[in-house]
Structure 1
Amino acid sequence: MKSAVETLSPTRAKLTVEVPFEELKPSLDAAYQKIAKQINVPGFRRGKVPPAVIDRQIGRGPVLDEAINAVVPQQYMAALQEHDLEPLAQPEIEVTKFEDNESLEFTAEVDVKPDFELPSYDGLEASVDDVEISDADVEEQVEALRERFGTLVPVERAAADGDFVTIDLVAAKDGETVEGGEVTGMSYKVGRGGMIDGLDEALAGMSAGEERTFDSELVGGDLVGEPVQVTVKVSAVQEQQLPEYDDEFAQLASEFDTAEELTADVRERLGRGKRLEQAAAARDAVLEALLEKVEIPLPEVMVTDELNARRANVEQQLGFAGITMEKYLEDEGQTQEEFEADLERRVRDAVAAQFILDKIAKKEEFGIDQAELSEHLVRRAQQSGQDPQEFANHMFEHNHIPELVQEILRGKALATIVEAATVKDASGNVVELKNLRPDGTIGEPVDEAPADAAAAEETTEDSTEDSEKA
């Protein structure tokens, strides 16, 4: 085999491969054997039909086609290795020359990993915000804990913010009830928001037995975004009564004897969550500092595919939460153009991070063992809310294990550059990154996680997601 490579762009190459006819002979022999098992010829047992008979019966063309289909992928892979190219997608292959008893020539165009000079990644410097825990943060956690132990008491008055109401909802369009637009006996906290626009305003001032109709838009289903008329009927109004925050409550809600001890523990747990967030921010800042030191050409097809995938994921998550894109952008204080620009910037950074971490992992000659793979499988399963064994089976059955291995290697590369970096907070203090796992993620053992700081944990996991994908 002879091969040559032409660089079409920094991220796309064209291979030209020539295979002498004699190198096709093993594939031709295999093609004859395969076809011999598929045809019936009088006087010959299945699988024992001689090549000359096959040529007379069906022609030599199908044999040559079978041989080419077998040899082209093999020679394509050999050419990639010869020229040290790493493909990013399936190639576009074209057979440009082939005659019986003559050499085979074909071309393969494919997106490849860009070639760039790896910058020094020792001693990077970055900065992050200080860890700040305000009295308001502590009070918010304390209130959430009180609400967990609160009781609902029926009241004979109109509903107000913070009350719980039992409601029936019917969404109609042009006088017809929308499919899936009817809910009965649902408990809802007035002022909570996030369900359907206009609901909280309609409920304010309503008493049990009253109903009201208002205009809104659907946030899910086939008619998402369509204007509808929503009728809400209140069947009960309940007021939430919270327990006093005293020593008795502390003994009921925790292992502590006094409210003072419980408050101190809440503050400590909040601090732990904030430090995890800071560690994740520090890791991301170090990676950003490294990316600023190098220009990496990016395959536009890869960027576009990732951009579309992330946009679809955002829209799906908003749909699950019952929030329209318009409402989300309003809450975030962004225009559609600003959202798209920010999403594209993050995608380009993530794709560039993949390439640079892959190159570091290759240079450092990292490897992984079975224990590391198993731990990563379990963590990924937990993140997706799946049973670890079922998740692992799915990964093996669909050949996703190489992707998981690459994730681990990238994590090791990320851990390497972060551990060698100096990160300081806004006050000039060095940030300790003791919560950095070997795969580059941030976290503490599960049994140490603050039970009443789920929101902090979610924030930390979200902040690490992009780099775990990188």
Structure 2
Amino acid sequence: MKSAVETLNPTRVRLTVEVPFEELKDSLDAAYKKINQQVTVKGFRKGKIPARIIDQRFGRGAVLEEAVNDALPKFYTEAVNEGELNVLGQPEVDIKELKDGELLSFTAEVDVRPTVEIPDYSGIEIEVDAVEVTEEDVDKAVEELRDRFASTSPVERAAEDGDVVTLDLEAKVDGEVLEDGLANDVSYTIGSGELLDGIDDAVKGLEAGGEATFASELKGGSAAGKEAEVTVKVSQVAARELPALDDDFAQLASEFDTLEELRADSRKRLENMKQYDQATQAQERVLDKLLELVEVPVPEKLLEDEVGTRKHNLEHHQLGQMGLDLDKYLEIQGKTVEEFEAETKEQAIKGIKTQFVLDELVTKEKLNVSQEELTEHLMRRASSSGMSPDQFAQAVVEGGQVPMLVGEVARGKALAVVVEAVTVKDTNGEVVDLADDEEETATEAVEADAEAPAESESEEKKAEA
């Protein structure tokens, strides 16, 4: 077999492959055997039809077509390996010549990873928010904890803001009660905003046994997005009572003996959260600066596929779970279709460039992923997916997604290397040390930017023709 590589642009090549006919022998034998099992010829047992009879009855062309289809992936893979190409996606194959007994010639156009030159990034300097926890922040955290330990007691008066009411609801659209438009004994805190728009004004002022009707746009269910006439009946009004802020509360709500210790712990937790947010902010800003320094051509077909994947995931997974369609989502976001398309394309380009640049850094820095690192990452992904680690691991293995997870961890390590080399200062001008948070937050930053670009692991280099 002979092969040649022609560079069409920085992200696409054309392979020209010539195969002597004798190298098709195994595929021809396999073609005759396959046809033998599929057809019946009078006078011959199934599977025992001579090749010349198959040629006569069904045509030599059918055999050659079957043989070529069988052989192309192997010869394409050999040409890719011979050319030391890092291919992306499926090739576009064109049979140029097929001479029976002489020669098979074909071309294959395919996207390849562009060459990425990583410049000196040590001069990057970014600014992040300072970690500052005020007394007001601590007060708010303690109040939120206090709110979770509130008790309720029924009262014989009209409902007010902050009361917990027990409700029966009935929703009608065009005068018809919806199949899923009835709900009984619903507990609702007035002012929480957790139910329908307009319900707070409807129930305030009602006593037990009172009812009201109001109009509201349904957020979910069979008539999501439609205007409904909602009748609400109050069966109970209960006042919320907050526990006193004292040492007894601290012992009730935590492992601490005093309110002072509880407040100190709340402050520490808030500091840790702000430090984590600071690290995430640093990763994102360092990544943006790095991408500004590197010229990365993006393969058109890969970009098209990535945009399509992001749209599909949004429409059929994320929005579907919220009971929304794309039109309603754009209305809520205040965006036009054109703005949405442009934004999705921009995000896809950034995701692809992120993967290319960080993969090049992985190679340049000779970074490896240990089993422990992969397991830790898998545990985090399982937690965010709502699955148990065992379920998530099984899904990953069955879906052939292990290389994807390895890639995410490796890219996170690559970004952490960059962050370690640059200067990070907070808004107070102080240099920030992110050593403890680098790899974990870097991996999450990579996941956010490069959620679904096409992988090009070694297995995928051998894409079927």
Q: TM-score, normalised by structure 1?
A: 0.84
Inter-partner Cα distance in structure 2 for 1:56 and 1:421: 73
Instruction: Judge conservation of contact 2:86–2:113 (CA < 8 Å) in 1.
Output: yes
> CA-to-partner distance for each residue in 1:138-191, whole Å, 9 max, x for gaps?
122111111221101112222222221111222211111223222221111211
Matched, 1:383 2:366: no
Inter-partner Cα distance in structure 2 for 1:440 and 1:156: 52
1:352 alignment partner in structure 2: 353
Inter-partner Cα distance in structure 1 for 2:329 and 2:193: 12
The CA deviation at 1:110 is 2.9
Instruction: Judge conservation of contact 1:280–1:464 (CA < 8 Å) in 2.
Output: no
Letter in 1 for 2:349: R
2:152 alignment partner in structure 1: 152
Inter-partner Cα distance in structure 1 for 2:409 and 2:194: 37
Letter in 1 for 2:448: E
Inter-partner Cα distance in structure 2 for 1:19 and 1:370: 43
2:428 alignment partner in structure 1: 427
Secondary structure of 2:207's partner? coil
Secondary structure of 1:231's partner? strand
**Which has the higher mean CA deviation after the structures are superposed, 312-321 or 17-26?**
312-321
Secondary structure of 1:65's partner? helix
Letter in 1 for 2:246: D
Instruction: Judge conservation of contact 1:219–1:322 (CA < 8 Å) in 2.
Output: yes
Matched, 1:206 2:206: yes
Residue segments in structure 2 that go unaligned for 5+ positions in a row: 454-465
Secondary structure of 1:378's partner? helix
Letter in 2 for 1:408: V
Letter in 1 for 2:417: T
2:138 alignment partner in structure 1: 138
Secondary structure of 1:424's partner? strand
Instruction: Judge conservation of contact 2:276–2:437 (CA < 8 Å) in 1.
Output: no
Inter-partner Cα distance in structure 1 for 2:222 and 2:98: 52
Secondary structure of 2:89's partner? coil
Instruction: Judge conservation of contact 1:168–1:186 (CA < 8 Å) in 2.
Output: yes
Secondary structure of 1:88's partner? strand
The CA deviation at 1:370 is 3.5
Secondary structure of 2:431's partner? coil
2:462 alignment partner in structure 1: none
Instruction: Judge conservation of contact 1:215–1:229 (CA < 8 Å) in 2.
Output: yes
The CA deviation at 1:325 is 8.5
The CA deviation at 1:310 is 4.3
Structure with bigger RCO (C-alpha 8 Å, 6+ apart): 2
Same amino acid, percent of matched pairs: 51
Task: Note closer, same or farther for the CA distance 1:39–1:59 as it changes in structure 2 (3 Å cut).
Answer: same
Task: Note closer, same or farther for the CA distance 1:103–1:322 as it changes in structure 2 (3 Å cut).
Answer: closer
Inter-partner Cα distance in structure 2 for 1:168 and 1:176: 17
1:126 alignment partner in structure 2: 126
Inter-partner Cα distance in structure 2 for 1:382 and 1:310: 22
Matched, 1:465 2:440: no
After superposition, residues 243-262 of structure 1 pair within 5 angstroms as 243-262=243-262
Task: Note closer, same or farther for the CA distance 1:126–1:157 as it changes in structure 2 (3 Å cut).
Answer: same
1:192 alignment partner in structure 2: 192
1:402 alignment partner in structure 2: 403
The CA deviation at 1:469 is 6.4
**Which has the higher mean CA deviation after the structures are superposed, 408-417 or 297-306?**
297-306
Inter-partner Cα distance in structure 1 for 2:243 and 2:151: 8
Letter in 2 for 1:293: L
The CA deviation at 1:88 is 2.8
Instruction: Judge conservation of contact 1:32–1:63 (CA < 8 Å) in 2.
Output: yes
Secondary structure of 1:216's partner? strand
Task: Note closer, same or farther for the CA distance 1:163–1:439 as it changes in structure 2 (3 Å cut).
Answer: closer
2:299 alignment partner in structure 1: 299
**Which has the higher mean CA deviation after the structures are superposed, 213-222 or 407-416?**
213-222
Residue segments in structure 1 that go unaligned for 5+ positions in a row: 443-460
Secondary structure of 1:244's partner? coil
After superposition, residues 52-131 of structure 1 pair within 5 angstroms as 52-122=52-122, 124-131=124-131
Inter-partner Cα distance in structure 1 for 2:86 and 2:43: 50
2:460 alignment partner in structure 1: none
Letter in 2 for 1:466: D
Task: Note closer, same or farther for the CA distance 1:244–1:184 as it changes in structure 2 (3 Å cut).
Answer: same
Task: Note closer, same or farther for the CA distance 1:462–1:87 as it changes in structure 2 (3 Å cut).
Answer: closer
Task: Note closer, same or farther for the CA distance 1:91–1:239 as it changes in structure 2 (3 Å cut).
Answer: farther
Secondary structure of 1:215's partner? strand
Inter-partner Cα distance in structure 1 for 2:238 and 2:273: 34
**Which has the higher mean CA deviation after the structures are superposed, 93-102 or 230-239?**
93-102
Inter-partner Cα distance in structure 1 for 2:46 and 2:331: 71
Question: Superposition RMSD on alpha carbons, in Å?
Answer: 3.3
The CA deviation at 1:109 is 2.9
Letter in 1 for 2:86: E
Secondary structure of 2:99's partner? coil
The CA deviation at 1:246 is 0.4
Inter-partner Cα distance in structure 2 for 1:68 and 1:23: 11
Q: TM-score, normalised by structure 2?
A: 0.85
Instruction: Judge conservation of contact 2:306–2:452 (CA < 8 Å) in 1.
Output: no
The CA deviation at 1:277 is 0.8
1:230 alignment partner in structure 2: 230
Instruction: Judge conservation of contact 1:20–1:102 (CA < 8 Å) in 2.
Output: yes
1:412 alignment partner in structure 2: 413
Inter-partner Cα distance in structure 2 for 1:170 and 1:397: 45
Instruction: Judge conservation of contact 2:221–2:323 (CA < 8 Å) in 1.
Output: no
Matched, 1:239 2:239: yes
1:448 alignment partner in structure 2: none
Inter-partner Cα distance in structure 2 for 1:435 and 1:390: 29
**Which has the higher mean CA deviation after the structures are superposed, 284-293 or 327-336?**
327-336
Letter in 1 for 2:435: K
Task: Note closer, same or farther for the CA distance 1:234–1:93 as it changes in structure 2 (3 Å cut).
Answer: farther
Inter-partner Cα distance in structure 2 for 1:64 and 1:333: 57
